[in-house]
Amino acid sequence: MYTLYGLKNCDTCKKALKSLDAAGKQVRFVDIRQDADLASKVPYWLENLDPKKVLNARSTTWRGLSDAEKASAEGEGLAGLLIENPTLIKRPIIEADDYLSVGWNKEVELALT
């Protein structure tokens, strides 16, 4: 079973869910705004994925942050910033027993479907 962390209205998450469903995969969707335990998940993701890939620096939320808030994204402050602002997390993050990825592209799709 895969767990997909994302947002209900995210087109990329919808595309990933549709592809995984079409491939017959069981997927549990977790909304990162409402249902995710970000206090435990974000540190795990940052430890096991490239932190620069976990941060969605192209988002509207990122553009709306102050320079001081953006500066806090360096090093240890990134986890707190992502927990406080879940829309800064690049989506989807997909977990399985021995698999963890961020984003949805052909490489991820081929690995999972």
Q: Which residues are catalytic?
A: 10
Q: 3-class SS at 101?
A: strand
Residue 89: strand pairing partners:
55
Distance of CA 10 to the CA centre of its chain: 11
Rg (CA), the chain: 14
For residue 54, give both structure tokens: 């976990």
User: CA angle, 103 as apex, 22 and 37 as ends, to 5°?
Assistant: 95
